[in-house]
Amino acid sequence: DAGVTQSPTHLIKTRGQQVTLRCSPKSGHDTVSWYQQALGQGPQFIFQYYEEEERQRGNFPDRFSGHQFPNYSSELNVNALLLGDSALYLCASSFLYWQGDTGELFFGEGSRLTVL
Amino acid sequence: EDKVVQSPLSLVVHEGDTVTLNCSYEVTNFRSLLWYKQEKKAPTFLFMLTSSGIEKKSGRLSSILDKKELFSILNITATQTGDSAVYLCAVPLPSGGSYIPTFGRGTSLIVHP
């Protein structure tokens, strides 16, 4: 049973470029959340997708956008990259639009983005 | 302001020591509190606490929740070098009719042989 998979694992971009990160949720899960984790910080919530719609959004600018596909996989897009976007981007999956009391979130290994 | 606060931010101990990590939170309509261990990249689930005063145990790790005082502790007894990691606490905070899992900054634990 595959867990949460993310790609790519590492990537380097320059300021102003655009990046797309991908996530496949754990088998049987239908909700995907994206987090940004800067060095020495806890994961910061970006947004959550359920039934192909963005359901919740954290305090991130519109440069951060996403998509969920019918197979529940998801993409995170970041436009006009800034140096401060350098971080580990984590994807977490859960079942039935996680409301906080129905079990754990399963995390992928993350995508390490470096912006030069 | 921070809604989920962990302390200490870092801790260095020797094998065999016992450690206590703290997580305090400010939230209305509390649902749960989750503990995760992050060794390199993917945080891995440790405990989910929903009821006050009921201890969850897994081997040398245990955790308890105090809903009155709004905090949780994670205890690790007889620490081993493999316990070295960042320990994250998360609380679902209400937002727009739903709940957002919100993490603290984590406690970085280093266990020396």
What are chain B's domains?
4-112 (2.60.40.10)
Report pLDDT for B1: 59
In this complex, which of B42, B48, B90 lies closest to A108 when CB atoms are compared?
B42
pLDDT band at B31 (very low <50, low <70, confident <90, very high): confident
Element (H or E) spanning A60, and its range? none
Q: b/e string for A23-54 if b means 16 or more Cβ within 10 A?
A: bbbbeebbbbbbbbbeeeebbbbbbbbbeeee
In this complex, which of A45, A55, A101 lies closest to B102 when CB atoms are compared?
A45
Element (H or E) spanning A29, and its range? none
Question: Is A10 among the domain residues?
Answer: no
| CA closest to A109 among chain B residues | B42
Kindly tell me if the per-residue pLDDT of B39 is higher than 90: yes
Tens of pLDDT, residue by residue over A11-38, are 999 999 999 999 999 998 999 999 999 9
A108 touches chain B (CB under 8 A): yes
Average pLDDT, chain A: 92
Question: What range does the domain containing A93 cover?
Answer: 15-115
Tell me what the mean pLDDT of segment B68-91 comes to.
Answer: 95
How many independent structural domains does chain A possess? 1
Q: In residues, how long is chain B?
A: 113
Kindly tell me if the per-residue pLDDT of B70 is higher than 70: yes
Report pLDDT for B83: 97
Question: Is A32 among the domain residues?
Answer: yes
CATH code for position A90:
2.60.40.10
